[in-house]
Structure 1
Amino acid sequence: MAEQQAPVWDPREIDELQLVYMKDLIRCKDGFSVFTSLAYAHYLVNNPGLTSDNYPVFFQLIEAANRWVIDTLTGGKDPARFLGNIQPNGWMLKESFRFLTVWKSGGVYPIALLMILGLLYQSYSNPEEGYRMYTLNVNDVNNLGKHLDKSKDQMDPQNRIILTILDRIASLIEPQRPAPTEAVRDVALQANNIRGKFLDMTKQLAEAIPDVLLVKEDFTATEIPPKVPPLNI
């Protein structure tokens, strides 16, 4: 009987295989993957830490928005400042607005949401610079505004930071600024429109944002806690 030839593995194939499993774990779709992601988050925070060389990995964990993983990342500190030591860039802003689009209103762990809102707050401290880094559109503004909670007042931390970001975006068409393009004007006017509808107690967000974006979810209904595997010690 001829001897069966052993497969030859290219190191890149092995790396890709590992990456497939890591991506699956980070999605936190079951208790064991949450446990593994939690340990991974603990390792990242306490060993390399968040740096300009590894922040995309942290973004993957934030996107999954699992409560236990997010709490491990933030360690009880202000989530809005979590990404504050990284210089914002276009990729970060594009991903942030993608998260806001994917996440449903009320359907994401609030601490994860505040981590992303904190980045936008920092990025749009200079609205023109923020717009230069990432050309946001009206849909982006709508997906930011949908996370306002009309059942709470403007002093609620989540509402307050969203309203501030909207106000900064709206300021792109202030008189002292250069004449805006049509795209900039549309974005600024929509930001101001959403902000106004929230602050006016006689108005509803649905008067500014499409109904389909305002469908509410409850993040606690789909939470997956970590499941510790049996340890044979």
Structure 2
Amino acid sequence: MKFGVVVFPGSNCDRDMYNALVHDLNQECIMLWHKDSDLSEFTTEDCIVLPGGFSYGDYLRTGAIARFSPIMQSIIEFAKNGGKVLGVCNGFQILCESHLLPGALLRNNNQQYVCKNLYIKDVQDKVYKIPIAHGEGRYYADDATLDILEKNNQVLFRYCDEKGNLVPEANPNGSVRNIAGICNETRNVFGMMPHPERACSSLLGNTDGRKIFEILFSEVMEGVI
């Protein structure tokens, strides 16, 4: 699998993602400029990554302007043709704005930027310690959409406490149903607010992010979970 990491004006996690993929996970990775539109070197077995940051300064709305960048038009087609796409933090916001994922990311319910380590769990109730850093990470969708996500097992990660309990105190932003990450119905587009790329190096004392990538590019994309 080959990865392409998109760089928008205002991206600040593109190098974090690149370093995690190349140096920690030993993957081939290419940096992609937002004004480019040619993805011909990538196949549906590869993955395009939208990293965290503040694309286009988060003007108007988080991810709203990035959605219309030249490369996003190609990424939308790439995803529709079965290509894999990952959005982390601001990347998740862009995916929702592009309608590649349902719902929206709203301002945190405490109206403050939150940056800390916390816990999320997957559908198999395994708990991971992963950093977050966002001011508009409150996932929202209407009940009908949420029910569809639940029915199709598209909710892949939820905020929890250290023991895996889905308690309000473990939810850092007020996301509905403690949702931290979802995928699309065909399971080739994935978005999450926490930053797994910041938890891939043993030098940082936390490698739980590696497990997230393993889930994403094996079980999730194959529809096992």
TM-score (norm 2): 0.33
TM-score (norm 1): 0.32
Q: Which has the higher helix share?
A: 1
Greater C-alpha Rg: 1
Q: Which has the higher contact order (CA 8 A, sep 6+)?
A: 1
